[in-house]
Chain A
C-alpha cells in the first residue's frame, strides 16, 4: 500500500476504529495507543485485499486482537472513559440527559464480556453485517447470531434498568 492509499484509508477509518477501541477498552488513552499500533500492524502485514471491506475487516480484526490482548494483560485502568465504576440504575422517573445516557451505556457495556462489547459495537455502532462481524471476531456466523442475540438482550435489559441484565 503506498502513502496516498494509506492516508486515504486512514482518513476513512481512523475515527471509527478509535471509537471502537475506546468503547471496548473503556480507556481513551489506551485507544490512542492501540490505534497507532493497529495501523502499524496493518501496514506491516502488507497484504493484498480484494475489496475495501476486506481491508476494513483486517484492520478491525487487528484492533480487536490488540484490545482483547490489552484487557487480558490487565493494563486497562479500571476507570471508564466517563469515570463510571459501578453499574447503577437510574432513579425511576428521572429524565437523564444525553451525558447520563452515555454513562449508562458505558456502565452497562462494562458488564458484558469484551467480545460481546465488540460484537455489539460492530453491529450497531459500525453497522457491520453478521458475516463481517464473524470474520473480525473469528467466529462462525451461526455462533455469532446466537451470541449477538444474547448480548443484545442483556444490554437492552441493563439499559432499561434491569437488576442484572439477565435475559428474561
Chain B
C-alpha cells in the first residue's frame, strides 16, 4: 500500500514538473492567483493559511537550517542564469549583426565567409542583380568584402602572446550597407592606404589599437585611423579597404562575399531567385539575420547544455538540502502538527502549509540568485573564438527577464519537490504517536 502510494506521488510529481516546464508566466500568475483565492475564500484554505502563518512565524528560530534552502537554491539559480546569460549574450550579439533588409552572398557550399572565394566576375554580377537598393547616384548598395584573419598581440600579454582578429576588407558602399557602424574616435580609413579602423571590442582585446598608432600585420605596418562602434559582432573586427587587404593577403581581385542592402526586405525571395537563375553564378544567399543566427547555433547549444547539466546537478544537491531541512522542521513540529490534527484540522491544510513554507523559501532563494546573477554578470565582457569566424568575438553576458523567469521556475520546482515529501510525512504522522513524542 505504502509503495503504491509513493509510486502515485512520484507519478504526480512527474506530471506536475512536465506541466511546470511548459507553463508560460501568465499561466503561473493565474495559478498563484487561484491558490491565493483558495487560501482566502474557502474554509480549508483559511485553515491552511493559518497553519502556514504559524510555521512561517517560527522560521526565525530556525534561521540556520532555513538558510540552507535559500542559499542552496540561490546558488543553483545564480549559476544557471549566469551560464544561460552567456549563451543568450553570445547569440544576441550575432543575431543583432544581421537583419532582414540586408543579404549576404557567398560561393555555394561555404559554411562561412572565411571559406568563401568569389572571383571578380561573380562579384560584379551579384552587384548588378535586381532587388538591391541604390544610392542617389544609382550605384547599387553592395559591398564586396574579404574576410581574413590577422595576428595581433593580446592586451596584457607578452609580445609573444598573439590572438587572432577578424580583418574585414570592405568596399566603398560598406557604410551605406551597414549604417549601424559609426566612428566614435578618429576617422574612417582612406581608400587605397594601409589604414585600419578598429571595432571597440577589438580595441579592448588587442594591444596597440589606438587611433594614430601603427600596428604590424605580417611584415607590413598599418595605421589605425579610428575606432568604430556598431553594438554587434562587427565590433570585434578590424576594417580596412578591401583592395588593400586583398593585396596584403595576395588575393588578387577575388573577394569572399558580397553584402547587399535590399531595396525592400520583401525583395529577398526575388533577389535569391534572380541569383539562382543566373547560370554564370554558383552562389548561396541568405539574409544576414539568417546567416549570423546560424553561426551562433553550435556554440549557443553547447553553452546551454553545459548550463543545464551543471544546473541539474546543483539542483539535485539543493533539493536534498531542502528535503533535509524540511524533514527536520516537520519533525521538530511533530507535536504541534499532531495537536492540530487532533482538534480537527484535516491533512490537506498541513500539507499545504509545509509546501507554502518551502516554496516561499525557494522563491526567496530564486530571487536572490537571479538578482546576484544579474548584478554580477549582466553586461560582463566575455570573448571567445566565434563559430564561422576567424577572430575573437567580444560579447556581453545578458541576463534577460526571460532567463530570470527560467531561474525562478527552477527555484519553485526545487521548492515544490523539497516540500512535498516532508509535507506528506507530516500529514500521515499517526496522531497518537506524535503527541506522545518528546
Decide whether A and B are members of one complex.
Answer: no
